[in-house]
Amino acid sequence: MHIGMVGLGRMGGNMAERLRAAGIDVTGYDANPENSDVATLADLAAALPQPRRVVWVMVPAGEPTAAVLTELATVLDEGDIVVEGGNSHFEADQANAARLAERGIGYVDVGVSGGIWGRENGYGLMAGGSGADIDVLLPVFDALRPEGPREEGFVHAGPVGAGHYAKMVHNGIEYGLMQAYAEGYELLEARDDLISDVGAIFAAWQRGTVVRSWLLDLMVRAVREDPGLDDISDWVDDSGEGRWTIEEAINSAVPVPVISAALFARFSSRQPSSPAMRAVAALRQQFGGHATRAARPSA
Amino acid sequence: MHIGMVGLGRMGGNMAERLRAAGIDVTGYDANPENSDVATLADLAAALPQPRRVVWVMVPAGEPTAAVLTELATVLDEGDIVVEGGNSHFEADQANAARLAERGIGYVDVGVSGGIWGRENGYGLMAGGSGADIDVLLPVFDALRPEGPREEGFVHAGPVGAGHYAKMVHNGIEYGLMQAYAEGYELLEARDDLISDVGAIFAAWQRGTVVRSWLLDLMVRAVREDPGLDDISDWVDDSGEGRWTIEEAINSAVPVPVISAALFARFSSRQPSSPAMRAVAALRQQFGGHATRAARPSA
Amino acid sequence: MHIGMVGLGRMGGNMAERLRAAGIDVTGYDANPENSDVATLADLAAALPQPRRVVWVMVPAGEPTAAVLTELATVLDEGDIVVEGGNSHFEADQANAARLAERGIGYVDVGVSGGIWGRENGYGLMAGGSGADIDVLLPVFDALRPEGPREEGFVHAGPVGAGHYAKMVHNGIEYGLMQAYAEGYELLEARDDLISDVGAIFAAWQRGTVVRSWLLDLMVRAVREDPGLDDISDWVDDSGEGRWTIEEAINSAVPVPVISAALFARFSSRQPSSPAMRAVAALRQQFGGHATRAARPSA
Amino acid sequence: MHIGMVGLGRMGGNMAERLRAAGIDVTGYDANPENSDVATLADLAAALPQPRRVVWVMVPAGEPTAAVLTELATVLDEGDIVVEGGNSHFEADQANAARLAERGIGYVDVGVSGGIWGRENGYGLMAGGSGADIDVLLPVFDALRPEGPREEGFVHAGPVGAGHYAKMVHNGIEYGLMQAYAEGYELLEARDDLISDVGAIFAAWQRGTVVRSWLLDLMVRAVREDPGLDDISDWVDDSGEGRWTIEEAINSAVPVPVISAALFARFSSRQPSSPAMRAVAALRQQFGGHATRAARPSA
């Protein structure tokens, strides 16, 4: 098989390598000519075998993805398939698919999990699209996913949008899991009179316990590399999917106290001074004459 | 009527003034001789009319209150009444009352709300104890509480402990109310493209709206004195009753997502660096190679 | 002054009455002919004095409001003003205003608080729009708002959208306040060994305490009418603004743990069976053989 | 090696079997004579080789454990070791150890994780106590823990209490993890227009994804056995350690929004009618005339 890959950054580049290692030809296009096998998307399309050309898009969600899809619509033909493997919102997928369908081009959205470990371990894949399009792509999915039964590392989640919806929920869960471990970490750190080596506790949870997981393994690595996590800031970014998860929860009236708490903790982590807590401090001062602290110089 | 008051700090001192203004004699004792009318608690006891001497204790909860109660047990007699008007835990009240009851001394716990405004406006009072003891104290309660119907500023909440339990719940609610206004404050601040004068919004909520309250009035004052709340830190203390509220909620299996969120926001506000969020940042770095920030120099 | 009012339901009807009582002429239009002074919106427009006709729209947000605005655009002229007094999203206001501006028609969004009590007590008002349009409307605002200083019951919050943004935040705060009182209510109910009359506690908080508020007064009324709140279901609706508040918080990266907890508690209250909690029960059964309960017959 | 085991219920019985399979002799005592190898604790003590007799206690926390320890103190001698392998609070351990130390008896607390799977897979173990006592017990720990490096399934967490403190935090994390998966489950269920087979999504997350874990594997099993989780109630118990985790968080001023949300969700799941939500419904009715629902017949 021979496919095109658009976007050869950290994720796309790694995925192209894994595909090639599995015997799938990949012609890559990247905005950076140094990383690119071809000069233009038109060249990319021309380089792929017909019919049923496959172009996997792996560029940042939003404007960059939209721009690539718009151009692909002009260089691909009826029966070709575009795979959106980035982090698009599932409703953007539905709109994208409708636009490409006007020209007879198929569309499959794939949520890809696994981070920088995926090249070696394989990627967890959640795909949305028609059964016919998915069938064409199965060799690609099999090359990207981890070893083992296909259904443990890949799912045809439903129609277009289902792949990224499932990935969005996956990431929402991930937010909650990470925050749960993090609260546990802090509870252990808080009692250094009892617990002298927090890393040893996490290490001992790797086998036999209810909380064992891949994230736990990573936590063990992190604490081994930097006991006390002293070299890292408590500033935590969020990537969009956590926000979308809450928005969808609201749309579906699903209570998500844990996922939202995890998201809000990240928001708080990035505030040099919390306006809300200044308001609480001001209220306490007003009614009780409670001592407050002068604003931090940097605030 | 003539009572003793132990502890003439901000709260006790103001209360003594309000009582005297209402025609109730108050003999005060304070550890600081300059504030004290008598030299010792024994002198205080000796200065009060018998029988049914009343000593109102207004010292910090915990050890200071315990010490005063222990000494009062030795200088008071059967039929006298001790009023614990501080912020004791309601179970401490029950233990205190049992000890004093061994000597025939009555015990009434009173939760007092109103902060520094109470001297002028009157204090909201929640009392726990026997009906007979409460009846003796009614003139004192009437002097301390705000004008208006007695039942709108005073309640005999139940047996010993009920007063401070009600006050604890009052403070738990207060935590939630303050955090709700504070989140609203931040949401208004966040859109300065739309809302140019946050203080004016809060001011306009004082009449007619569903959210009007005394705390809102204080919020208006605070923002008027310091628009942007720039001169105040976001560091917020907590006084114990919020913690007890969560503990009692757990004991009674009552879900308290709002009150607990308000308490945890205060905990977070006091952390120069959050160990939990460093853990989340470390996890993200492990699996995704996500950029992290170096630890803040001060962290 | 003489204005038009579209939508004479509970809110619009009450507001029209309050306006008339204040000497402002109101010609009303309602889809229900029995409530309507005129047969059509064209008739309404024709009945109003020119120039600078004012039509206050008070119909449900979304499609009904959009339909009215579309028709008003065809029957009003340059210089006229439409007031959207319902619960539109502030971004819908901005779109509405842009459409009407194409025909030179002004647009003012007004958040109205006060519920069924507003007719008698006056309504809290938050307005967005141009200064010139707001000035025209001041007599209307003065008639609707409560007695007292104008700035304590009315605010020109900012440009179009600011009124409903402020009202949205108001309602978000309201969610948090209500949940805080509700958690306190449950904590008092849970200890009926200590607290025999929960209503009396709430009543006693009405004067002097930090938690006194209009919502507290309503709580006192509610418990007086139905001690134990036995005649009411724990099923609680939500009206949209709470959801929007969380969405805007996410857009602005503002942590809102309290407002979101209040919203999620409402979502949970409406679930006959929680899929999430069935999942937790299933997990516990899987790893621990913990007893579970058979599904409720109705679930 | 030859040890005593007190309590041969589901956990204790399974552990005894695993120990025997590893070549460790176990003399068991259970209150139920049919399960018991000896008639009394004195008989148990007499059956064990001296010196340094080891008795592992595996009975319910609280009163049952206290009763066993009191009796063991009378039948064991200086240099013997009691292992508390149940779910005692870590402060109870400290008190227990002090009492036994008066007679020269050693005390080791061990948190045991793994549930009903432990007999086959091995148990995750967290131990607190002196290094000398731990050393004596290493063969027992090695028999109970999973295969693999010792430090990945066992930890000497610190002095007495550290084992159960670590286990308490482990369980707190577990609450958060389970709730995170559960919220994700509900979000997938909510969009059955997009996601037709929720179980297939969870199954596909087992390899390669960031959220893979043992709990996820169990979730896959649960949904496979009961798609839709229709045969299980949403009523979820809590076992004590979740509560202790929150209490310790409060004692240490550690924000735990996720773990507390998970605990409160369980509390809510068990309420036939929520007093708090009835209060919110009542408030809405008071101010807005919002429709409420009559109380459920069973409420």
d(CA C156, CA C162): 8
Contacts of B139 (CB under 8 A, 6+ apart): B1, B24
Residues in C closer than 8 angstroms to D181, CB to CB, are: 279, 283
- Chain A touching partners, 3 or more CB pairs below 8 A: B, C, D
Contact: D275, C215; criterion CB under 8 Å: no
Mutate to test the interface with B, among C87, C177, C181, C264 (most CBs of B within 10 A): C177
Written as six digits, the tokens of B255 are: 């879900």
Catalytically active residues of C, by annotation: 167, 174
* Angstrom distances, CA of residue A166 to CA of A59, A94, A109, B147, C103: 19, 14, 11, 61, 45
Contact: A256, D114; criterion CB under 8 Å: no
Closest CB to A221 among B286, B295, B296: B286
Query: B167-171, B205-209, B280-284, C236-240: which range is least confident on average?
Result: C236-240
d(CA B18, CA B32): 21
Task: Find out whether C69 and C96 touch, Cβ atoms under 8 Å.
Answer: yes
> Is pLDDT of C291 > 80?
no
- pTM of the model as a whole: 0.96
Closest CB to A229 among B179, B278, B289: B278
Sign of torsion, CA A126 A132 A138 A139? negative
Contact: C267, A255; criterion CB under 8 Å: yes
Q: D167, D183, D241, D248: which is the annotated catalytic residue?
A: D167
Residues in C closer than 8 angstroms to D229, CB to CB, are: 275, 278-279, 281-282
The mean pLDDT of C111-139, rounded to a whole number, is 96
pLDDT at C296: 47
Burial A131-157 (b: 16+ CB within 10 A, else e): eebbebbebbbbbbbbeeeeebbbbbb
Closest CB to D126 among A128, A146, A204: A204
Task: Find out whether C249 and A238 touch, Cβ atoms under 8 Å.
Answer: no
B68-118 pLDDT, tens per residue? 999 999 999 999 999 999 999 999 999 999 999 999 999 999 999 988 899
Residues in A closer than 8 angstroms to C270, CB to CB, are: 253
Which chain A residue lies closest to D120 (C-alpha atoms)?
A208
Burial of C279 (0-12, 13-18, 19+ CB in 10 A): buried
Distance from the A82 Cα atom to the nearest Cα atom in chain C, whole angstroms = 30
Task: Find out whether D207 and A152 touch, Cβ atoms under 8 Å.
Answer: yes
Distance from the B46 Cα atom to the nearest Cα atom in chain C, whole angstroms = 33
d(CA C201, CA B225): 34
CA C128 to chain centre: 16
> Is pLDDT of B292 > 80?
no
The mean pLDDT of B157-170, rounded to a whole number, is 98
Per cent of chain A over pLDDT 70 is: 97
pLDDT at D119: 94
d(CA D76, CA A250): 60
Among residues B63, B62, B42, B61, the alpha carbon closest in space to that of B53 is found at: B42
pLDDT at A291: 60
Distance from the A38 Cα atom to the nearest Cα atom in chain B, whole angstroms = 28
Residues in A closer than 8 angstroms to B183, CB to CB, are: 276
pLDDT at B63: 93
Written as six digits, the tokens of D232 are: 């299980």
CB pairs under 8 A between B and C: 288
User: Reduced to 3 states, what is the DSSP secondary structure of residue C125?
Assistant: strand
pLDDT band of B297, cuts 50, 70, 90? very low
**Chain-wide mean pLDDT for chain B?**
95
Known catalytic membership, residue B174: yes
**Chain-wide mean pLDDT for chain A?**
95
Contacts of D129 (CB under 8 A, 6+ apart): D97, D106, D107, D108, D109, D156, D159, D160, D163
Among residues C98, C28, C32, C21, the alpha carbon closest in space to that of C56 is found at: C28
Which chain D residue lies closest to B277 (C-alpha atoms)?
D255
> Is pLDDT of D96 > 90?
yes
How many C-alpha atoms does B216 have within 13 Å on its Cβ side?
Answer: 27
Task: Find out whether B239 and B171 touch, Cβ atoms under 8 Å.
Answer: yes
Closest CB to D117 among C282, C284, C287: C287
Domains of chain D as residue ranges with CATH: 2-160 (3.40.50.720), 176-284 (1.10.1040.10)
User: Edge-to-edge strand order for the sheet containing D81-84?
Assistant: D25-29, D2-6, D54-57, D81-84, D106-113, D124-128, D154-158
Contact: B233, A186; criterion CB under 8 Å: no
Give one word for B143, left, alpha or beta, with left for phi > 0 and alpha for psi -120 to 50.
Answer: alpha
Contacts of C137 (CB under 8 A, 6+ apart): C54, C81, C83, C108, C127
Give one word for D22, left, alpha or beta, with left for phi > 0 and alpha for psi -120 to 50.
Answer: alpha
Residues in D closer than 8 angstroms to A174, CB to CB, are: 210-211
pLDDT band of D296, cuts 50, 70, 90? very low
**Chain-wide mean pLDDT for chain D?**
95
Mutate to test the interface with A, among D87, D141, D207 (most CBs of A within 10 A): D207
Contact: C208, B123; criterion CB under 8 Å: yes
- Chain B touching partners, 3 or more CB pairs below 8 A: A, C, D
Mutate to test the interface with D, among B267, B268, B287 (most CBs of D within 10 A): B267
> Is pLDDT of A23 > 80?
yes
Residues in B closer than 8 angstroms to C202, CB to CB, are: none
d(CA B205, CA B215): 11
d(CA C207, CA C211): 9
Residues in D closer than 8 angstroms to C242, CB to CB, are: none
Contact: B258, C262; criterion CB under 8 Å: yes
Task: Find out whether A283 and B222 touch, Cβ atoms under 8 Å.
Answer: yes
pLDDT band of C116, cuts 50, 70, 90? confident
- Chain C touching partners, 3 or more CB pairs below 8 A: A, B, D
Please give the backbone phi and psi of residue C29, each rounded to the nearest 5 degrees, phi first: -125, 135
Distance from the D178 Cα atom to the nearest Cα atom in chain C, whole angstroms = 6
Among residues D274, D94, A196, A199, the alpha carbon closest in space to that of C264 is found at: D274
Q: What is the ipTM metric for this complex? A: 0.95
Q: B91, B147, B152, B174: which is the annotated catalytic residue?
A: B174
Task: Find out whether A107 and A93 touch, Cβ atoms under 8 Å.
Answer: yes
Mutate to test the interface with C, among A177, A243, A250, A268 (most CBs of C within 10 A): A250
The mean pLDDT of D148-154, rounded to a whole number, is 98
Task: Find out whether C233 and D274 touch, Cβ atoms under 8 Å.
Answer: no
Closest CB to D261 among A201, A213, A257: A257
Rounded to 10 degrees, what is the CA torsion of B88, B89, B94, B96?
A: -40
Beta bridge partners of D108: D83
Q: B84, B152, B167, B248: which is the annotated catalytic residue?
A: B167
pLDDT at A156: 98
Written as six digits, the tokens of A56 are: 């996997």
pLDDT at B116: 87
The mean pLDDT of A273-293, rounded to a whole number, is 88
Residues in A closer than 8 angstroms to B274, CB to CB, are: 186, 234, 265, 269
Residues in A closer than 8 angstroms to B186, CB to CB, are: 274-276, 279
Written as six digits, the tokens of C229 are: 């709140």
Please write down the HEC assignment for all residues of chain B.
Answer: CEEEEECCCHHHHHHHHHHHHCCCEEEEECCCHHHCCCCCHHHHHHHCCCCCCEEEECCCCCHHHHHHHHHHHHHCCCCCEEEECCCCCHHHHHHHHHHHHCCCCEEEEEEEECHHHHHHHCCEEEEECCHHHHHHHHHHHHHHCCCCCHHHCEEEEECCCHHHHHHHHHHHHHHHHHHHHHHHHHHHHCCCCCCCCHHHHHHHCCCCCCCCEHHHHHHHHHHHHCHHHCCECCCCCCCCHHHHHHHHHHHCCCCCHHHHHHHHHHHHHCCCCCHHHHHHHHHHHHHHCCCCCECCCCC
* Angstrom distances, CA of residue D261 to CA of A62, A274, B241, D84: 33, 22, 20, 30
Contact: D158, A113; criterion CB under 8 Å: no
Contact: D218, C283; criterion CB under 8 Å: yes
Among residues C254, C89, A215, the alpha carbon closest in space to that of D213 is found at: A215
pLDDT band of C295, cuts 50, 70, 90? low
Which chain A residue lies closest to C247 (C-alpha atoms)?
A247
d(CA A55, CA A45): 8
Closest CB to B259 among C157, C173, C180: C180
Residues in C closer than 8 angstroms to D230, CB to CB, are: 295, 299
Written as six digits, the tokens of B193 are: 């493209």
First to last CA, chain C: 57
Distance from the C262 Cα atom to the nearest Cα atom in chain D, whole angstroms = 10
CB pairs under 8 A between B and D: 47
